[in-house]
């Protein structure tokens, strides 16, 4: 856990004491130039609690393809808050109302799919930031209950993540990178490959070349690059300049299961 960020630090428990806005751990680490580690694969608050002591920076809550709905977000984001982890929610479309409603439900970061143009990126900011940066509806998020001045401070703790997952986004990347207010430009490999006609073949040389080119251009522009990373390629992405690292639990579970079975077999 980074220095100065402790679970539940927003409230000391003293009667009548005002709340402080919870820090966005992922956002702060990225702004400091440090890598941020985000885990995906959880749909229940108890699972987030069990993972909390591991020390990751954020939890990716899958609202585009997975089973996370608006009604679930209160408990899921509260579990993240307990451990000082950033709640990172992927929504299923680039819709201003959906973006700020998800923030209202307690999310600290929003992932928006298929940001293919400058206009798409500007729409993300419009939905995810309060005026004067955007047009987010003026409502106090669950993160803002009891926080004086929440509407004036929330933009500083709200992280917006644009998915660069189509070849069209690669073509328009220079224009997209000029949009202020986007905290991470995340190159998503599977949809990227499909948009190039290589569905299911992320390892195709043309796909890998375009993905690496996109990441390098993001870094060269002085913006923050993110991508899906596994143990085998995380070092390579770090060398390129990626700082937002998203991974999932399933490969770890599979590797642990294989190792366990192998250990038993060796003793028989």
Q: What is the DSSP string of the chain?
A: --TT--TTTT----TTPPP-PPP-HHHHHHHTT--EEEEE---SHHHHHHHGGG--SEEEEE-SSSS--GGGHHHHHHHHHHTT-EEEEE-SS--HHHHHHHHHTT-SEEEES---SHHHHHHHHHHHS-TTT--------GGGTT-TTHHHHGGGG-EEEEEE-SHHHHHTHHHHTT-TT--EEEE-HHHHHHHTT-TT-TT-HHHHHHHHHHHHHHHHTT--EEEE--TTTHHHHHHHT--EEEEESHHHHHHHHHHHHHHHHHH-
Q: Residues with catalytic annotation? A: 65
Instruction: Tell me how far the alpha carbon of residue 247 is from its chain's centroid.
Output: 11
């Amino acid at each position: 856990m980074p220095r100065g960020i402790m679970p539940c630090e927003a409230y000391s428990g003293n009667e009548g004491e005002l709340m402080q806005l919870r820090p966005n751990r992922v956002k702060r680490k990225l702004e400091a130039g440090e890598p941020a580690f985000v885990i995906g694969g959880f749909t229940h608050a108890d699972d987030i609690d069990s993972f909390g002591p591991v020390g990751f920076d954020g939890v990716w809550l899958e609202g585009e393809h997975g089973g996370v709905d608006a009604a679930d977000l209160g408990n899921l984001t509260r579990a993240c808050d307990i451990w000082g982890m950033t709640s990172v929610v992927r929504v299923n479309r680039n819709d201003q109302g959906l973006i700020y409603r998800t923030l209202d439900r307690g999310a600290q970061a929003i992932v928006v799919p298929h940001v293919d143009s400058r206009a798409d990126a500007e729409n993300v900011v419009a939905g995810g930031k309060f005026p004067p940066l955007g047009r987010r509806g003026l409502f106090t998020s669950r993160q803002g209950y009891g926080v004086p001045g929440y509407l004036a401070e929330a933009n500083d703790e709200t992280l917006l993540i644009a998915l660069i997952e189509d070849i069209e986004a690669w073509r328009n990347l220079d224009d997209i990178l000029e949009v202020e207010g986007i905290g991470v430009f995340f190159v998503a490999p599977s949809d990227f490959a499909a948009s190039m006609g290589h569905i299911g073949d992320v390892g195709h040389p043309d796909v890998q070349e375009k993905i690496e080119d996109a990441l390098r251009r993001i870094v060269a522009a002085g913006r923050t690059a993110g991508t899906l990373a596994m143990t085998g390629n995380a070092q390579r992405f770090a060398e390129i300049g990626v700082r937002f690292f998203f991974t999932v639990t399933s490969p770890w579970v599979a590797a642990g299961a294989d190792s366990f079975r192998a250990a038993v077999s060796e003793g028989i």
